[in-house]
Amino acid sequence: MTAVPVPAGPVGDLDRHLRGYLDHLMVERGSARNTLLSYRRDLERYTAHLASAGVGSVTDVLPAHVSGFLQAIREGDEEHVPLAASSAARTLVAVRGWHRFLLAEGITGTDPARDVHPPRIGKKLPKALPTGTVAAILDAAAGQDPRGLRDRALLEFLYATGARISEAVGLDLDAAIDAEKTGLVRLFGKGSKERVVPVGSFAVRALSAYLVRGRPDLARAGRGSAAAFLNVRGGRLSRQSAWQVLADAADRAGVGGEGASVSPHTLRHSFATHLLEGGADVRTVQELLGHASVTTTQIYTLVTVDSLREVYATSHPRAR
């Protein structure tokens, strides 16, 4: 879409109120840096769309402009690829949040985004591995050299705690030592929300072996990093490297077709599913995963229902 020139003043109005909203998110809401960057990117694209439609002031925005923006990001243009339903919905959340803020502050008299709904997102069930497959992957990371000890500790930690990959690589040495001693670890999830998660005995043993016999050797190559999981240069292990650790272990385990789709988040899905299959209630799993809403966690119950159906279908004499 070709941008339509608009006067400098009105465009400044959009920019001024956008900055005010981002300041509100940062100072009063305490939003995380990544959240702010995401909102800024989405809303700057929105204000550019408004400007191209000849809208120069937040008071001139109509519901048609918001729905037109939603259609535009779904279709894409010369500079942007079409957004999937989930990404478009996330972008619309930022737009609706801004308009709610403008209305609450008395800057506008109406909320043009109120009745614009996000595209329907098909419910996609998480990928959960069977317990035997998870065990095979963990056993495949069994080297006794520093990297092997690190890899086993990392994968055991991911599966034992359901931690996100960012939470695992972001873990500091002090927290890892506390986890080894107490069997509990403090994790900081999205929005810097803190939660305490138990660490199982297998992960504690792997973590202890790594901290005693693996990490000191890796640390010698660096400059005193505070990270628990180190790379070969003694710095903090990256998310990409941690992903590769799991991929390599899956290959060595001979997981085959499943191995191609195994990711650190797969272990998190498996953690939640296996807990529910073992009798844990949804609220407990919600706390362990750090989900803000129980509805996010309830999708895992669909996985366990599917597994029950499969067992019934293969085991009951009259299932067919």
Q: Which residues are catalytic?
A: 164, 190, 265, 268, 291, 300
Half-sphere exposure of 47 (CA within 13 A, CB side): 23
Residue position matching structure tokens 């809303």? 43
For residue 185, list its beta bridge partners: 197
In the chain, how long is the greatest CA-to-CA distance? 76
Asked whether the beta carbons of 307 and 277 are under 8 A apart, the reply is yes
Comparing C-alpha atoms, which of 227, 155, 172 is closest to residue 185?
A: 172
Whole-angstrom distance, CA of residue 125 vs CA of residue 299: 7
- Provide the CA 171 distance to its chain's centre, in angstroms: 16
Whole-angstrom distance, CA of residue 263 vs CA of residue 127: 10
Whole-angstrom distance, CA of residue 68 vs CA of residue 227: 46
**Those residues with Cβ within 8 angstroms of residue 58's Cβ, 6 or more apart along the chain or in another chain:** 13, 14, 17, 102, 107, 108
At 184, which helix (H) or strand (E)? strand 184-188
